[in-house]
């Protein structure tokens, strides 16, 4: 006997969980996840940052549409703050001034800082290294676990079901329904949402569709000891203006990343020693400090479309196959708006909590995110 639903979502990362929670307000939803627990891949490995000035214009628009959810979550969603203020600071050496100017042109609201301003905030930055910077005061640390659990609770309360340990292995369309073999069960629904992160193109292939060209890219992160004798609590997120490395306070230590973007097959990504060494070297060069040890290291896959813009919408080559993929390095900070857009496009009605939201999402943005732009042979 097949288990039936209105919508089946593949993947229980932040994308699948948030879309499931939204859709369950008006549809019978099932979420299928390969791993024994949700959020095991990219979602559980992020740097947990929210910054309005990050990414291209489409990404920034979707981030802005997610902000109110994180600052004032709906009643019952969480008992803890989902976002804690922390500015983002793009910093540059003198040879990187052109890159800094270009960011400022794109986001004029960023506040210029001198080398002294930056050293006042982050005294370990060496005066020989630093030239200037731009401050984004809207940034913050996200509580990714609380966000993921909040969406999953909401899915459950609205009658949705999550099947962990159920890897989707077959996907075919028969008599107006998608038939999905996952684990030891068969699931059927008229609509399937592809929220499989790094595996999203593989899910398309299972459904008999050509992939849209998503590329998973490995990114490494690590924790190092906070410099002795300094209170790092209020340091900003420090991002090299050409995104060669970044660091920020994290649970009493410093989270450091070489901001690597190494193409990778979809897999359980692991950190490479070379990337760890690169990050440590860049941090030591910028600060003159020695990093005596790396406390913990990890890596995850950020999955990008060729234009680094999300892929959200129905696939025009078949019926009922919806893409929610290509979240790149912004999938946590944009999840609330992408989930509402997904629910709105699938149900054709405005989302429950924000009746004006559908109208707020401008048609040209919907078109920019649509998979149509990536599909040449239909
Ligand atoms: C080091 C690092 C730092 C980052 N920092 C930030 C940040 O500061 N802010 C931010 O917003 N974003 C950040 N990101 C990006 C963010 O983590 C991702 O954009 C986001 O988590 C993507 O969510 P997802 O649900 O699409 O993917 P995932 O979390 O990878 O979820 C996809 C799920 O689909 C499942 N799946 C795949 N195939 C199948 C199948 N056949 N059947 C069933 N299930 C399947 C997988 O098991 C997986 O759980 C960072 C990422 C990394 C790696």
In the chain, helix, strand, coil percent, each to 5?
30, 25, 40
pLDDT in tens, 108-152: 999 999 999 999 999 999 999 999 999 999 899 999 999 999 999
Counting from 1 in the atom list of ligand 1, the atom nearest the Cα of 196 is 34
Q: Are residues 370 and 335 in the same domain?
A: yes
Q: What count of Cα atoms within 13 Å lies in the side-chain half-sphere of residue 260?
A: 29
> Do 281 and 329 lie in a common domain?
no
Residue 193's closest CA among 3, 26, 6? 6
Is ligand 1 within 6 A of the CB of residue 32?
yes
How many domains does the structure of the chain reveal? 2
- Residue 42 Cβ < 6 Å to ligand 1: yes
CA of 198 relative to ligand 1 center, distance in Å: 7
Determine the Cα–Cα distance for residues 242 and 16; give it in Å rounded to an integer: 31
Gap from CA of 261 to ligand 1 centroid (Å)? 15
80, part of any domain: no
Q: Are residues 317 and 369 in the same domain?
A: yes
Are the beta carbons of 373 and 212 closer than 8 angstroms?
no
The answer to whether residues 369 and 256 belong to one domain is no
* CA-nearest residue, atom 31 of ligand 1: 13
Domain harbouring 132, CATH code: 3.30.9.10
Pair 34, 103 in one domain:
no
- Asked whether residue 162 falls in the same domain as residue 266, the answer is no
- Percent of the residues in the chain that have a pLDDT greater than 70, as a whole number: 96
Task: Out of 304, 330, 354, pick the residue that ends a domain.
Answer: 304
- pLDDT tens string 264-305: 999 999 999 999 999 999 999 999 999 999 999 999 999 999
Task: Kindly state if the Cβ of 33 falls inside 6 Å of ligand 1.
Answer: yes
| Candidate of 20, 31, 43 to mutate for ligand 1, largest count of ligand atoms within 8 Å of Cβ | 43
Backbone angles phi, psi at 362, to 5 degrees: -70, 145
Question: Do 227 and 290 share a domain, yes or no?
Answer: yes
| Beta pairing class for 161-163 and 88-92 | unpaired
How do residues 309-356 score in pLDDT, each as one tens digit? 999 999 999 999 999 999 999 999 999 999 999 999 999 875 444 444
* pLDDT number for residue 355: 43
Is any atom of ligand 1 closer than 6 Å to the C-beta of 34? Answer: yes
Residue where one domain finishes, among candidates 259, 285, 304: 304
Candidates 251, 248, 252; CA nearest to 283 is 248
* 175/64 same-domain check: yes
Looking at the structure, do residues 279 and 156 belong to the same domain, yes or no? no
Helices (H) and strands (E) in the chain, counts: 10, 22
User: Listing from the earlier edge strand, what are the strands of the sheet with 140-142?
Assistant: 49-50, 140-142, 83-85
pLDDT single digits (tens) 34-78: 999 999 999 999 999 999 989 999 999 999 999 999 999 999 999
pLDDT of residue 378 exceeding 70, the answer is: no
Ligand 1 atom closest to Cα of residue 38: 49
| Block residue for tokens 């990778």 | 264
In whole angstroms, what is the distance from residue 17 CA to residue 26 CA? 15
Residue-number span of the structural domain to which 53 is assigned: 3-70+143-212+307-374
- Kindly state if the Cβ of 11 falls inside 6 Å of ligand 1: yes
Whole-angstrom distance, CA of residue 215 vs CA of residue 211: 10
Q: In this structure, is residue 75 part of a structural domain?
A: no
214 CA distance to ligand 1 middle (Å) = 13
Structure tokens at 248: 């920020």
Cα separation, 257 vs 243, in Å, equals: 10
Q: How many Å apart are CA 35 and CA 135, to the nearest integer?
A: 39
Does 295 map to a domain?
yes
Q: 48 CB less than 6 Å from ligand 1?
A: yes
Confidence of residue 376 (pLDDT cuts 50, 70, 90): confident
Cβ 194 under 6 angstroms from ligand 1: no
Question: Which residue in 315, 301, 234 sits closest to 265, CA to CA?
Answer: 301
Diameter over CA atoms, the chain: 69
């Amino acid at each position: 006997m097949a288990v039936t639903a209105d919508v089946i979502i593949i993947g229980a990362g932040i994308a699948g969980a948030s879309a499931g929670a939204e859709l369950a307000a008006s549809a019978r939803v099932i979420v299928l996840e390969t791993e024994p627990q949700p959020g095991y891949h990219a979602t559980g490995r992020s740097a947990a940052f929210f910054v309005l000035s990050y990414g291209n214009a489409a990404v920034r628009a979707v981030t802005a549409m997610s902000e109110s959810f994180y600052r004032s979550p709906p009643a019952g969603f969480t008992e803890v703050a989902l976002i804690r203020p922390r500015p983002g600071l793009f910093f540059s050496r003198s040879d990187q001034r052109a890159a800094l100017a270009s960011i400022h042109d794109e986001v004029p609201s960023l506040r210029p800082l001198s080398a002294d301003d930056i050293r006042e905030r982050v005294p370990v930055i060496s005066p020989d290294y630093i030239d200037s910077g731009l401050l984004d005061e809207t940034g913050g640390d996200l509580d990714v676990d609380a966000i993921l659990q909040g969406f999953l609770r909401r899915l459950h309360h609205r009658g949705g079901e999550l099947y962990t340990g159920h890897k989707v292995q077959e996907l075919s369309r028969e008599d107006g329904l998608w038939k999905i073999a996952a684990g030891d069960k068969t699931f059927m629904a008229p609509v399937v949402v592809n929220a499989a992160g790094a595996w999203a193109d593989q899910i398309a292939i299972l459904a008999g569709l050509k992939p849209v060209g998503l590329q998973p890219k490995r990114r490494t992160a690590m924790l190092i000891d906070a410099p002795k004798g300094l209170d790092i609590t209020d340091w900003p997120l420090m991002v090299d203006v050409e995104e060669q490395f970044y660091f920020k306070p994290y649970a009493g230590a410093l989270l450091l990343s070489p901001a690597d973007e190494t193409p990778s097959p979809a897999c359980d990504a692991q950190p490479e020693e070379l990337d760890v060494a690169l990050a440590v070297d860049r941090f030591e060069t910028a600060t003159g400090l020695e990093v005596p040890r790396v406390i913990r290291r990890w890596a995850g896959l950020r999955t990008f479309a060729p234009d680094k813009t999300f892929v959200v919408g129905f696939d025009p080559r078949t019926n009922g196959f919806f893409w929610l993929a290509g979240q790149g390095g912004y999938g946590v900070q944009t999840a609330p708006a992408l989930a509402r857009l997904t629910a709105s496009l699938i149900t054709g009605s405005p989302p429950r909590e924000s009746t004006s939201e559908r109208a707020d999402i401008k048609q040209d943005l919907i078109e920019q995110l649509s998979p149509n732009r990536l599909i040449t042979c239909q």
